[in-house]
């Protein structure tokens, strides 16, 4: 019985670690909780098929036809986290952040990435924010994104 409790405790602590990896980031507040996400539609994937791609966690938010103040707030938070990135690719349009790929410092042996795309700037009406963590390096991640 003691071993079962120990195993349950270990599993619970490991599951919580993945969620905590994002906690120190400004963008964390954008992701929903048990009541859903006020910013837009949210996707959360962990384990399973991701592990085949050397990933552990995928979280994304898609905002359809974002209001200017929504874009400004999300962009501000992304830039804040991006300032501490170990590596970054950024594209601006009209002085606004259009695209950003940020490799954050690893945490707990996992690489962490923030991806941002404001395609509302070119007329599609979507803003997408993605947080990914796993063992994949940035080149492997870029290959996955091109698929």
Closest CA to 120 of 40, 33, 52, 5: 40
Beta bridge partners of 93: 96
Spans of all domains in the chain: 2-146
The 10s digit of each residue's pLDDT in 111-127 is 999 999 999 887 778 99
Helix (H, G, I), strand (E, B) or coil at 96: strand
What does the mean pLDDT of the chain come to? 82
The 10s digit of each residue's pLDDT in 34-47 is 445 566 788 999 98
Contact between 55 and 44 under an 8 Å Cβ cutoff? The reply is no
Average pLDDT over residues 64-89: 94
Q: Where do we find the tokens 């395609």?
A: 119
Compute the chain's Rg from CA coordinates: 16
How many angstroms separate the first and last alpha carbons of the chain? Answer: 47
How far is C-alpha 122 from the geometric centre of its chain's CA atoms?
A: 22
Model pTM? Answer: 0.81
């Amino acid at each position: 019985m003691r071993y079962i409790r120990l195993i349950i405790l270990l599993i619970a602590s490991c599951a919580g670690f993945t969620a905590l990896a994002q906690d120190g980031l400004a963008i964390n507040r954008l992701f929903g909780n048990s009541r859903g996400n006020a910013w837009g539609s949210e996707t959360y994937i962990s384990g399973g098929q991701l592990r085949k791609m050397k990933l552990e966690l995928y979280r994304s938010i898609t905002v359809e036809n974002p209001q200017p103040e929504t874009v400004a707030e999300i962009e501000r938070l992304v830039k804040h986290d991006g300032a501490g990135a170990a590596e970054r690719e950024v594209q601006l349009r009209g002085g606004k952040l259009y695209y950003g790929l940020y490799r954050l410092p690893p945490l707990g042996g996992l690489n962490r990435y923030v991806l941002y795309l404001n395609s509302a700037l070119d007329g599609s009406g979507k803003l997408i924010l993605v947080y990914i963590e796993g063992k994949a390096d940035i080149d492997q991640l870029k290959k996955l994104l091109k698929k």
